[in-house]
Structure 1
Amino acid sequence: MAQEMSRLTFGQGPKRNLFAHVVESIGLRIIRGELSPSLPFPKEADLGTEFGASRSVIREAVKSLAARGLITSQTRTGIRVLEPINWNLLDAEVLNWRYSVMPPDQFYGELFEIRRLIEPEAARLAALRGSATEIAAIVSAFAAMSEASRAERSGVAADLAFHRAILAAAHNALLLQMGNLIAVGLDIAHRLSSESFVVFLPMHKAVLDAILARDGEKGEAAMRHLLSETQEFMSRLIRA
């Protein structure tokens, strides 16, 4: 199974395409360890020559990587790579770069450990705290998932909307920041197998029913069951 599956969404125009290419290329080198805190960072001029990019594009790429915690740029010390503890692993691109260089089972193991800590509690809180409007958003997302399943088309956007709506209904701003973890996991899972979407639709319905019933304990248990079964399914798929 190919591991080089990082996602890159380019913006409009050649300059934006080049900028995104530079950011991803350097980001992947850092994640792989080809650029590390113990090594001098390439000079801007050398990077410009390598990528055929202007100084402004290279500098914007450096700012983008610094914002993700991969590097730091200071007037006196210049640019240097930061230790992994500083990386913003909630950033969707960093997550994708990391996935592209890690064994899939290791990546999914880490991802589901975090999801099991976060989402069952989010489901419990959504059942207890969610407003009528917020719960209606969960219902709407599930309806879109069901329609996608009947039409045999991708439901990844609806699936993500379902999980994000639950995080929103939990009324905890910090939980919302975990949305990228779920987004990357769902995106990769759907690319590996569309079957997972159909298989787990009834389990999503169990989560929804518990939230509609305002039963926090059942919501937590239903989400925990959904994540456990999903992880096992993905593990079998990866091993195969």
Structure 2
Amino acid sequence: MIYYKTEAEIELMRESALLVSKTLAHIAGLLKPGITTLSLDKVIGEFIRDHKAEPTFLNYKGYPFNSCISVNDVVVHGFPDKNELREGDIISVDIGVYKNGFHGDHAYTFAIGEPAEDVMKLICVTKESLYKGIEKAVAGNRIGDIANAIQEHTEKKHGYGVVRELVGHGLGRSLHEDPQVPNYGRKGTGPVLREGLVLAIEPMINMGKKDVYTEEDGWTVRTVDHKPSVHFEHDVCVRKGKADVLSDYSIIEAAEQTNPNLNAKY
């Protein structure tokens, strides 16, 4: 079942999405070598509650943390822990909030210090691919048009591995709604996009092979070759002519650029 949102509902969803963006911007100001992802998760939970919302991920299907924090070869769903971040790490922070009856859910990948040049390129291309996909999120197109745009830019153009097992999704009163939004596929296939559909579009792109595995904790997903993976995600409402991006990377990017411990040169 695909749920289309009213204009009033879309504005409530924008509030939830923007709170995720603000939380990610707050975390961007704290990232540095030596900080633990567990301490970041605690800050995330407090920040969300201080803004009169709830962390969506906490206890979702048994997930035990406020956020998913995935470092280097972890694709998604990484458990925050007591390990310290190090110079050259890349870190994907994925956050969900529940406010006013609707969810916001998006992610951003940060570079600590000076990762290798090829890693920085992977970050750049993955972020570009997110916007390539968003360009196709307009009424009259199909899900396959979004998927194909992401795959063409990452796999076909740059030879990266596009994860098959994990996909984007519809978003609304539930965290995961129909339709699924893969990052690979053929143009002109899948459900038709109509105004009022809100999607979480989220390329998960590996430097090496596309294949992944899940650790014994039942959540943490890693690349099989242990090469880095990058994850970006925006909340997007389908409109005529041009997609309406409900989340806001500009405040995250501003915090990223003013933190001397982060590399935003890509």
TM, length-normalised to structure 2 = 0.27
TM, length-normalised to structure 1 = 0.29
Structure of higher CA gyration radius: 1
**Which of the two has greater helix per residue?**
1
Higher relative contact order at CA 8 Å, sep ≥6: structure 1 or structure 2? 2
**Which of the two has greater strand per residue?**
2
